[in-house]
């Protein structure tokens, strides 16, 4: 899969579909979470990076208040009025666009009709936030076509609300945050309670960020994601008996948890134990990146995967095989599942001089076990979203925050 959408070919497709050339291109990046899994909805810490695989939206304004949207992946052209609620189309791919449009209009944004072609270099349903990339891309596209002023945090929260309300997934805010605010050659450290955030240098000169896709698709809303979230909330409720001041697992220190763990039911103990330790690992990982200690980051990633596998129980044979195979390559510093789990992808830190060996050995092991090749993407940390005018009113490329 290439890193950039083929603009010329997509522009020709746009013209054949809609009878005119696109005005604007929005590239909305996916993300990979380096460490900090299932901590975001527990008000904890995460360390994602935007990656150079995108959802691409080519668009042009049109008269009236009708949106015509075409998705190359589905070869599907959908038409809907701007003012129509998306509720009755729940589950259709357009719900991601329509939910964002609906909520922007509720905030008073005046949106007219437009045509949009959607393509991707980002694999769908693989744990790389294709849905958040599409939602953030839609918000950025509407902001470009029909300019409005909105605080970045307010816009990010709006996109998260669209995912909750219309897509049916009670996700944390991490995906939207990094898809909008990620920057080249950096990871983004985010406190999911205060929403304070800062960029952390991600030096990838000698080491590559490699994503391995199991190609095992899983719908996040239909998975055990919501069950895990409820188990964490139950843990907080029980721990308040001894720690009355806590409101989320974020408030529980590692030593505190160890002293109280035996008082929790076994399943709840495992879920909470992962989250408490994972928050500590994120803070340690930020410190490692700031001193350019990628070897230590790799060790933390390995500990994270073991915890996700054994305590949070969101791994699967496909993910475990990819991690185990990666760690048998001498040049691999770290490997772990990334995203919600149950399928999707792993993220790996691999020395660049070991990349060919990594691809060969990891690919061969996976084929022997599952009869198909995994997707292997060598990625860079990039900007979260970029807007490029292809014709008037602008001819320059600008970032989401202008």
Q: What are phi and psi of 62, to 5 degrees?
A: -140, 155
Q: Do residues 146 and 109 make contact, with C-beta atoms less than 8 angstroms apart?
A: yes
Q: Do residues 259 and 247 make contact, with C-beta atoms less than 8 angstroms apart?
A: no
Total residues found in the chain within this entry: 402
Is 175 one of the annotated active-site residues of the chain? yes
Options 40, 52, 175, 213, the catalytic residue: 175
Cα separations (Å) of 98 from 29, 61, 221, 363?
20, 16, 18, 39
The 3-class SS string of the chain reads CCCCCCHHHHHHHHHHHHCCCCCEEEEEEEEEEEECCCCHHHCCEEEEEEEEEEEEEEEEECCCCEEEEEECCCCEEEEEECCCCCHHHCCCCCHHHHHHHHHHHHCCCCCCCEEEEEEECCCCCCCCCHHHHHHHHHHHHHHHHCCCCCCHHHHHHHHHHHHHHHHCCCCCCHHHHHHHHCCCCEEEEEECCCCCEEEEECCCCCEEEEEEECCCCCCHHHCCHHHHHHHHHHHHHHHCCCCCCCCCHHHCCHHHHHHHHHHCCHHHHHHHHHHHHHHHHHHHHHHHHHCCCHHHHHHHHHHHHHHHHHCCCCCCHHHHHHHHHHHCCCCEEEEEEECCCCCCEEEEEEEHHHHHHHHHHHHHHHHHHHCCCCEEEEECECCCEEEEECCCCCCCEEECCC
- Residue 14, token pair as written in the block: 């746009």
- The residues, any chain, with a CB within 8 Å of residue 195's CB and separated by 6 or more, are 153, 173, 177
Q: Which residue has the tokens 């990339």?
A: 133
Q: Do residues 179 and 155 make contact, with C-beta atoms less than 8 angstroms apart?
A: no
- Residues labelled catalytic: 175
């Amino acid at each position: 899969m290439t890193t950039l959408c083929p603009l010329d070919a997509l522009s020709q497709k746009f013209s054949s579909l809609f009878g005119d050339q696109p005005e604007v291109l929005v590239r909305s990046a996916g993300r990979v979470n380096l460490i900090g899994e299932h901590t975001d909805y527990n008000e904890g810490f995460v360390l994602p990076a935007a990656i150079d695989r995108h959802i691409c939206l080519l668009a042009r304004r049109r008269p009236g208040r009708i949106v015509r949207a075409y998705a190359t992946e589905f070869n599907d052209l959908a038409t809907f009025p701007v003012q129509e609620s998306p509720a009755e189309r729940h589950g259709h791919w357009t719900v991601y666009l329509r939910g964002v449009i609906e909520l922007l209009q509720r905030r008073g944004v005046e949106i007219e009709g437009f045509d949009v072609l959607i393509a991707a270099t980002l694999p769908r349903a693989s744990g790389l936030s294709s849905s958040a990339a599409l939602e953030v891309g839609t918000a950025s596209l509407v902001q470009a076509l029909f300019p409005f002023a909105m605080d970045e945090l307010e816009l990010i929260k709006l996109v998260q609300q669209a995912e909750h309300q219309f897509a049916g997934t009670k996700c944390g805010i991490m995906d939207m945050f990094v898809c909008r605010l990620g920057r080249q050659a950096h990871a983004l450290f985010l406190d999911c309670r205060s929403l304070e955030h800062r960029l952390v240098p991600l030096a990838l000169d000698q080491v590559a960020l490699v994503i391995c896709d199991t190609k095992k698709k899983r719908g996040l809303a239909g998975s055990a994601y919501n069950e895990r979230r409820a188990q964490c909330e139950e843990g907080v409720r029980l721990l308040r008996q001894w720690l009355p001041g806590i409101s989320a697992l974020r408030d529980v220190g590692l030593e505190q948890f160890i002293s109280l763990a035996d008082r929790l039911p076994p399943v709840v103990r495992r879920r909470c134990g992962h989250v408490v330790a994972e928050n500590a690992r994120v803070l340690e990982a930020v410190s490692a990146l700031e001193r350019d200690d990628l070897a230590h980051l790799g060790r933390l990633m390995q500990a994270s995967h073991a915890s996700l596998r054994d305590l949070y129980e969101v791994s699967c044979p496909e993910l475990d095989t990819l991690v185990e195979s990666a760690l048998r390559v001498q040049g691999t510093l770290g490997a772990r599942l990334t995203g919600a789990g149950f399928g999707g992808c792993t993220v790996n830190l691999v020395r660049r001089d070991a990349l060919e060996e990594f691809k060969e050995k990891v690919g061969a092991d996976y084929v022997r076990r599952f009869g198909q090749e995994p997707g292997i993407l060598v990625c860079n940390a990039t900007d979260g979203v970029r807007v490029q005018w292809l014709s008037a009113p602008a001819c320059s490329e600008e970032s989401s925050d202008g």
